[in-house]
Structure 1
Amino acid sequence: MQSILPRAKVLVPSLRVIGQTRSATSLGLGIQRPTPRVGSPSVARFGAFSQLTWPPSLTLARQLPTKYGGVYSVTLIPGDGIGKEITQSVEEIFEHLNVPVEFERFDISGATSQDAALFKRSMDSLRRNKVGLKGILYTPVERSGHTSWNVAMRQQLDIYASVVLCKSVPGFPTRHRDVDFAIIRENTEGEYSGLEHQVSAAWHLGAFRLTPDRLTSSLSSLQSSPGVVESLKIMTRAKSERIARFAFDFAIKNNRKTVTCVHKANIMKLGDGLFLNTCRQVAEEYKDSGIKFNDMIVDNASMQACSRPQQFDVMVLPNLYGSILGNIGAATVGGPGIVPGANIGRDYALFEPGCRHVAKDIEGQDVANPSAMILSATMMLRHLGLDHHANQIAAAVYKVIADGTVKTPDMGGKGKTTEFTAAVLKAVA
């Protein structure tokens, strides 16, 4: 099968040499682990589709997950919806190849707060193992006061960078060809702060200085409104700078040419203005690297991603915009069933499908495309240094897609999840 990404050297001078060349044949197999940046608050270490950042002061023991008896312990959270079906595909493949990974499984449902104690135990497991593989936990829209456990994981573990690579896949024709861009999303703040509350009209008016002509119209609109809600969007310079550096380091180590900051600073001049200005300042530090920098307003970026996605290379975005553009990007290359993802922090890494869809509408029907979850698992294997197993599995997945012998409904066929998994097992070299 023809390589989708070029061969790439894999070097970590300060840690260890994982391998000298890549025989990558898939989207997830051509990304380098970067060399340390002298004077930077962090150094980076790549896995497929992902970059891990490590302060130089960390010891090797803290940089890598713990290995017991030659086997890595990994926290597994199948999640809701199709999660159990697609994680079962991963477990079958790992067992078939004797992958040295032992899963510590937690069957949590985000649909009920009754699993709070189990969620806490899963977090303890993630802190202990330092790496996890998960499906998506359902977050009810209708029940107030129930925090998303997906968001809670990212915030509590400070896994601040979401990385999703949107790249055309041979054998999976879509409207757009030659798509190849990375979404780098800030994962821990913005509108996802979860800080919102209801306020009275009187309190709300007293909190602002209104001119007499605006006061009348404001009173009128509030009196006719059934309620007033304030939702806080938290943006900090430190976290904006951290994700901007991540994006530029990613671009450098993966031979990317351009970083695009996506924002709405024309309207949200303070919040998004801070993000944009911070990205611009970081871009100045990287101007000698050859990486170009530009910015685009989020509504225009959404349109451009739909109409001409080939123009993008690396996009760095605040939390909410990253979620939206990540889904648009996935749509350009085939949808949520094909795009894997990673959530990366200083101390922890959590791998999951790039589009965070529960897919409850097809739950239990054996029709879900397991590719995104299987490929997310290969990203995890590369993070663990198990490159050979990652190569085997990812190459097999893309061979099955290219051959077209088994296509799940999202790929235009009638294949089953179990049939696709069986085809991958057969294709493993």
Structure 2
Amino acid sequence: MLKLVNTTALRGNGITKAMTTRTLATTTVAPSLAQEVRKVRDKTIHKVTLVPGDGIGVELSESVKAVFAATKAPIEWEQFDLTGHVASGDTLMKDTLESLRRNKVGLKGTLYTPVSKLGHASFNVSMRKDLDIYGSISLIKNIPGVPSRFRGIDLAIIRENTEGEYSGLEHQSHPGVVESLKIVTRFKTERIARFAFDFALRNNRKKVTCIHKANIMKLGDGLFLKTCRDVAEEYKGSGITLNDMIVDNASMQLVSRPQQFDVMVMPNLYGSILSNVGAGLVGGPGLIPGANIGREYAVFEPGCRHVGADISGSNVANPTAMILSSVMLLRHLGLEGHANRISNAVYRTIEAGKTKTRDIGGTASTSEFTDAVINAL
């Protein structure tokens, strides 16, 4: 059975503590004490900020809430119906950020970002920058019951969330000439590189691949590559190796032999593109869970950030990615029992093949799939 990692932000150093179930089972804590800790966690009500997002986000969030209610997960939602379909910065954004700062943890769908130059800046990007949730994880893995051209895919795409091409620093130096600044800093590259290596270390991964374009962007991506190599020196005794790959070659390699990758670390834009490529390999964006982790805050959202406006309101969206992202949230809060019940129910439902959504070869609606997961709990 597939298991998702437990992502817990270590507030002291900003590293993600990602522990597998096997790791948890081998802790030195006395069994009786561990049981008591679990009981306390299961009884404690955790307040979590919920931002359904635009497009299919509302339907997916309702699916998560229904599943959580069925398993009696001790979660109290603080919901904010923030939307990107506004003319300018929304005051509701401030309230949402205040809630996240209070609760430290959130679940969100994707917010619409206008393409027009007159539109507001991306709320998605602004949220990550304001809270400094700098490390993005997208888990790309085959799911039994979902047709795929490849088997044996099990990789994590880790992207830096707060700079690179997403810095949003553009200006028109002359009519018809736009200069867009890509920001790369040693500080932020060091912490995302350590984030990737620590993720690999805690999840028994053996290789980290740095994705770059240093042959062309010799200063910016050159700094990213050199910094990753420097950080790798700190992990020499861990058994984790570092290799690197130019982003265009990595795209080709990902669709020809994806099994060669284990953990991939990269700047923001490359991560956005390759996480979508990875999703296409295993069944689509409706299957990929994700998380954004910082020093103090953690916000969980599908690993492929699609609004899905074209199918909004039609009750056909696949809620798997949103549910599995919420499973990562439960693990982050230490609620392993609820997390395991939900993830196992999702995988059993898909593998059984009787209630699959259209994107993975079935005919079930969002609500029918949700009901099937609840029945499988």
TM-score, normalised relative to structure 1: 0.80
Matched, 1:27 2:3: yes
Deviating beyond 4 angstroms after TM superposition, the runs of 4 or more aligned structure 1 residues are 30-34, 40-44
C-alpha deviations, 1:98-156, integer Å up to 9, x for none?
A: 21101000111112135611111001100111000000000011243410000000000
Correspondences of 1:15-414 after superposition (within 5 Å): 26-28=2-4, 30=5, 41=13, 44-46=16-18, 70-113=44-87, 116-200=90-174, 227-414=176-363
8 A Cα contact 1:368 1:408, kept in partner: yes
8 A Cα contact 2:7 2:332, kept in partner: no
TM-score, normalised relative to structure 2: 0.91
Specify the SS of the correspondent of 2:285.
coil
What residue is the counterpart of 2:36 in the other structure?
A: none
Q: Distance in 2 between matches of 1:174 and 1:348?
A: 35
Q: Where does the alignment leave 5 or more consecutive residues of structure 2 unmatched?
A: 22-40
C-alpha deviations, 1:303-346, integer Å up to 9, x for none?
A: 11111111101100001001111111111111100010000000
Specify the SS of the correspondent of 1:267.
coil
Q: Distance in 2 between matches of 1:372 and 1:268?
A: 34
Q: Distance in 1 between matches of 2:349 and 2:169?
A: 45
Q: CA deviation at 1:48?
A: 7.2
Q: Size of the alignment, in residue pairs?
A: 357
Residue identity opposite 1:144 in structure 2 = L
Q: Distance in 1 between matches of 2:209 and 2:317?
A: 33
Specify the SS of the correspondent of 1:165.
strand
How well do the aligned residues superpose, as a CA RMSD in angstroms? 2.0
| Greater radius of gyration (CA) | 1
Q: Distance in 2 between matches of 1:268 and 1:243?
A: 19
Q: Distance in 2 between matches of 1:43 and 1:366?
A: 38
Q: Distance in 2 between matches of 1:330 and 1:126?
A: 28
C-alpha deviations, 1:238-276, integer Å up to 9, x for none?
A: 000000011111111111111100000000000000000
8 A Cα contact 1:262 1:296, kept in partner: yes
Q: Where does the alignment leave 5 or more consecutive residues of structure 1 unmatched?
A: 4-25, 50-66, 201-225
Q: Distance in 1 between matches of 2:19 and 2:312?
A: 30
Specify the SS of the correspondent of 2:140.
strand
Specify the SS of the correspondent of 1:232.
strand
Specify the SS of the correspondent of 1:164.
strand
